Amino acid sequence: GAGAPPAWHGKRGAQRLMAEFRALRAWTGQPRVYDAELVGDRADRWRFKVSGFADDVPGGRDLNADLAALSRRPRGVDHVLMEVTFPSDYPTRPFFLRCVRPRFKWYTGHVTAGGAICIEALTTTGGAGAWRSDFSVETVLHTVFANMMHAEVSHVRTATGPGGRTGPLRVDLAGEYARDPMMDYSEAEAKSAFDRMLRHHAANGW
Protein backbone atom coordinates (compact mmCIF):
# COMPACT_ATOMS: atom_id res chain seq x y z
CA GLY A 1 0.00 0.00 0.00
CA ALA A 2 0.93 3.68 0.04
CA GLY A 3 4.04 4.35 2.06
CA ALA A 4 5.05 0.66 2.13
CA PRO A 5 8.74 0.03 1.37
CA PRO A 6 9.48 -1.29 -2.13
CA ALA A 7 9.52 -5.08 -2.61
CA TRP A 8 13.32 -5.12 -3.02
CA HIS A 9 13.96 -3.19 0.20
CA GLY A 10 16.40 -4.99 2.50
CA LYS A 11 17.03 -7.81 0.01
CA ARG A 12 20.42 -8.80 -1.41
CA GLY A 13 21.79 -11.09 -4.12
CA ALA A 14 19.46 -12.76 -6.62
CA GLN A 15 16.37 -11.95 -4.53
CA ARG A 16 17.15 -8.25 -4.72
CA LEU A 17 17.83 -8.41 -8.48
CA MET A 18 14.60 -10.22 -9.28
CA ALA A 19 12.51 -7.94 -7.06
CA GLU A 20 14.00 -4.92 -8.84
CA PHE A 21 13.48 -6.58 -12.24
CA ARG A 22 9.78 -7.09 -11.47
CA ALA A 23 9.54 -3.44 -10.40
CA LEU A 24 11.11 -2.32 -13.69
CA ARG A 25 8.68 -4.48 -15.69
CA ALA A 26 5.82 -2.76 -13.85
CA TRP A 27 7.17 0.75 -14.71
CA THR A 28 4.51 3.38 -15.35
CA GLY A 29 4.82 7.00 -16.39
CA GLN A 30 7.04 8.92 -18.79
CA PRO A 31 9.08 7.93 -20.62
CA ARG A 32 7.86 4.39 -21.37
CA VAL A 33 10.18 1.63 -20.16
CA TYR A 34 9.23 -1.68 -21.74
CA ASP A 35 10.40 -5.07 -23.09
CA ALA A 36 12.70 -5.54 -20.08
CA GLU A 37 14.50 -8.87 -20.40
CA LEU A 38 17.34 -10.80 -18.82
CA VAL A 39 20.29 -11.06 -21.23
CA GLY A 40 21.04 -14.74 -21.80
CA ASP A 41 18.84 -15.57 -18.79
CA ARG A 42 21.41 -13.90 -16.53
CA ALA A 43 19.84 -12.18 -13.53
CA ASP A 44 22.78 -9.75 -13.35
CA ARG A 45 22.35 -8.27 -16.86
CA TRP A 46 19.17 -6.74 -18.22
CA ARG A 47 18.17 -4.86 -21.35
CA PHE A 48 15.12 -2.66 -21.79
CA LYS A 49 13.69 -0.14 -24.26
CA VAL A 50 12.81 3.49 -23.59
CA SER A 51 10.62 5.78 -25.70
CA GLY A 52 7.91 8.43 -25.41
CA PHE A 53 9.88 11.12 -23.60
CA ALA A 54 7.99 14.10 -22.14
CA ASP A 55 6.69 16.27 -24.99
CA ASP A 56 6.12 19.26 -22.71
CA VAL A 57 9.85 20.04 -22.47
CA PRO A 58 12.02 20.99 -25.49
CA GLY A 59 14.59 18.26 -24.73
CA GLY A 60 11.89 15.58 -24.78
CA ARG A 61 10.27 16.91 -27.95
CA ASP A 62 13.61 17.02 -29.77
CA LEU A 63 14.61 13.50 -28.69
CA ASN A 64 11.18 12.11 -29.69
CA ALA A 65 11.55 13.81 -33.09
CA ASP A 66 15.06 12.34 -33.49
CA LEU A 67 13.80 8.83 -32.69
CA ALA A 68 10.84 9.23 -35.08
CA ALA A 69 13.24 10.29 -37.85
CA LEU A 70 15.55 7.38 -37.04
CA SER A 71 12.64 4.89 -37.15
CA ARG A 72 11.93 5.89 -40.77
CA ARG A 73 15.41 4.79 -41.87
CA PRO A 74 16.29 1.24 -42.91
CA ARG A 75 16.96 -0.78 -39.70
CA GLY A 76 16.05 2.30 -37.67
CA VAL A 77 14.30 2.14 -34.29
CA ASP A 78 11.97 4.46 -32.38
CA HIS A 79 13.46 3.76 -28.93
CA VAL A 80 16.66 3.81 -26.88
CA LEU A 81 17.96 0.33 -25.97
CA MET A 82 19.65 0.36 -22.55
CA GLU A 83 21.57 -2.26 -20.58
CA VAL A 84 22.24 -2.57 -16.86
CA THR A 85 24.92 -4.88 -15.40
CA PHE A 86 25.22 -5.61 -11.69
CA PRO A 87 28.41 -6.29 -9.71
CA SER A 88 28.58 -9.47 -7.60
CA ASP A 89 28.33 -7.41 -4.39
CA TYR A 90 25.32 -5.32 -5.44
CA PRO A 91 23.88 -3.24 -3.77
CA THR A 92 27.13 -2.48 -1.89
CA ARG A 93 28.46 -1.14 -5.19
CA PRO A 94 26.32 0.42 -7.95
CA PHE A 95 25.27 -1.17 -11.23
CA PHE A 96 26.72 -0.08 -14.59
CA LEU A 97 24.21 1.54 -16.93
CA ARG A 98 24.72 2.17 -20.62
CA CYS A 99 22.93 2.90 -23.87
CA VAL A 100 23.39 0.17 -26.51
CA ARG A 101 21.77 2.01 -29.43
CA PRO A 102 21.27 4.38 -31.14
CA ARG A 103 24.39 6.53 -31.03
CA PHE A 104 24.07 10.03 -29.63
CA LYS A 105 25.82 13.32 -30.18
CA TRP A 106 28.78 13.60 -27.86
CA TYR A 107 28.35 15.50 -24.60
CA THR A 108 24.54 15.44 -24.71
CA GLY A 109 22.18 14.14 -22.02
CA HIS A 110 24.95 12.96 -19.66
CA VAL A 111 25.64 10.01 -21.99
CA THR A 112 29.39 9.53 -22.50
CA ALA A 113 31.02 9.22 -25.92
CA GLY A 114 30.99 5.43 -25.38
CA GLY A 115 27.31 5.25 -24.39
CA ALA A 116 27.77 4.90 -20.61
CA ILE A 117 25.56 6.86 -18.25
CA CYS A 118 27.79 8.98 -16.03
CA ILE A 119 26.05 10.47 -12.99
CA GLU A 120 27.39 10.78 -9.45
CA ALA A 121 24.67 8.42 -8.13
CA LEU A 122 26.38 5.56 -10.04
CA THR A 123 29.80 6.22 -8.49
CA THR A 124 31.38 5.45 -5.15
CA THR A 125 33.10 8.82 -4.77
CA GLY A 126 31.83 9.26 -1.23
CA GLY A 127 30.31 12.61 -2.22
CA ALA A 128 26.83 13.72 -1.16
CA GLY A 129 25.30 12.49 -4.41
CA ALA A 130 27.17 9.17 -4.61
CA TRP A 131 25.68 5.66 -4.63
CA ARG A 132 23.76 4.40 -1.61
CA SER A 133 22.52 0.81 -1.22
CA ASP A 134 18.92 2.02 -0.85
CA PHE A 135 19.03 3.37 -4.42
CA SER A 136 17.59 1.09 -7.11
CA VAL A 137 17.49 0.83 -10.90
CA GLU A 138 14.07 2.45 -10.84
CA THR A 139 15.07 5.42 -8.65
CA VAL A 140 18.29 6.05 -10.61
CA LEU A 141 16.45 5.87 -13.97
CA HIS A 142 14.19 8.74 -12.93
CA THR A 143 17.33 10.85 -12.44
CA VAL A 144 18.91 9.60 -15.68
CA PHE A 145 15.82 10.43 -17.76
CA ALA A 146 15.54 13.89 -16.17
CA ASN A 147 19.23 14.49 -17.00
CA MET A 148 18.65 13.42 -20.60
CA MET A 149 15.90 16.04 -20.96
CA HIS A 150 17.30 18.89 -18.90
CA ALA A 151 21.09 18.82 -19.36
CA GLU A 152 22.32 22.39 -19.36
CA VAL A 153 23.79 23.88 -22.52
CA SER A 154 27.43 24.86 -22.25
CA HIS A 155 30.72 24.41 -24.09
CA VAL A 156 32.94 21.62 -22.77
CA ARG A 157 36.64 21.04 -23.02
CA THR A 158 38.06 17.67 -22.01
CA ALA A 159 41.58 16.32 -21.70
CA THR A 160 41.10 13.79 -24.50
CA GLY A 161 38.00 14.54 -26.59
CA PRO A 162 37.49 17.30 -29.16
CA GLY A 163 35.17 19.27 -26.87
CA GLY A 164 31.76 20.44 -27.95
CA ARG A 165 28.36 21.70 -26.90
CA THR A 166 26.46 19.99 -24.10
CA GLY A 167 22.70 19.94 -23.79
CA PRO A 168 19.73 17.57 -23.82
CA LEU A 169 20.20 14.16 -25.43
CA ARG A 170 20.20 14.12 -29.25
CA VAL A 171 20.59 11.20 -31.66
CA ASP A 172 23.62 11.43 -33.98
CA LEU A 173 21.37 11.45 -37.05
CA ALA A 174 23.96 13.27 -39.17
CA GLY A 175 26.63 10.65 -38.45
CA GLU A 176 29.04 13.21 -37.00
CA TYR A 177 30.48 10.78 -34.46
CA ALA A 178 29.91 7.34 -35.98
CA ARG A 179 29.31 6.12 -39.52
CA ASP A 180 25.89 4.81 -38.57
CA PRO A 181 23.77 5.92 -35.60
CA MET A 182 22.42 2.34 -35.41
CA MET A 183 25.88 0.89 -34.75
CA ASP A 184 25.80 -0.53 -31.21
CA TYR A 185 28.03 0.93 -28.54
CA SER A 186 30.24 -1.88 -27.22
CA GLU A 187 30.54 -2.61 -23.51
CA ALA A 188 34.31 -2.01 -23.64
CA GLU A 189 33.74 1.39 -25.27
CA ALA A 190 31.20 2.28 -22.58
CA LYS A 191 33.47 1.22 -19.71
CA SER A 192 36.48 3.15 -20.97
CA ALA A 193 34.35 6.28 -21.52
CA PHE A 194 32.91 5.94 -18.00
CA ASP A 195 36.45 5.67 -16.55
CA ARG A 196 37.53 8.77 -18.50
CA MET A 197 34.54 10.68 -17.10
CA LEU A 198 35.35 9.58 -13.55
CA ARG A 199 38.89 10.94 -13.93
CA HIS A 200 37.47 14.19 -15.36
CA HIS A 201 35.06 14.60 -12.43
CA ALA A 202 37.75 13.63 -9.89
CA ALA A 203 39.81 16.54 -11.21
CA ASN A 204 36.98 19.02 -11.79
CA GLY A 205 34.20 18.02 -9.39
CA TRP A 206 30.60 17.14 -10.20
pLDDT tens digits, 126-175: 788 899 999 999 999 999 999 999 878 777 666 656 667 789 999 999 99
The residue count of the chain comes to 206
Residue 50: phi and psi, rounded to 5, are -135, 130
The C-alpha atoms of residue 47 and residue 130 are separated, in whole angstroms, by: 24
Q: Where do runs of H (alpha helix) occur along 72-186?
A: 137-150
Question: What is the average pLDDT across 111-131?
Answer: 89
Q: Residue 131's pLDDT is what? A: 95
Question: Greater confidence, 128 or 100?
Answer: 100
pLDDT digits over 125-138, tens only?
A: 878 889 999 999 99
C-alpha distance across the termini of the chain, in Å: 37
108 secondary structure, DSSP code: B
Beta strands in 27-174 (DSSP E): 32-39, 42-51, 80-85, 96-101, 155-156, 164-165
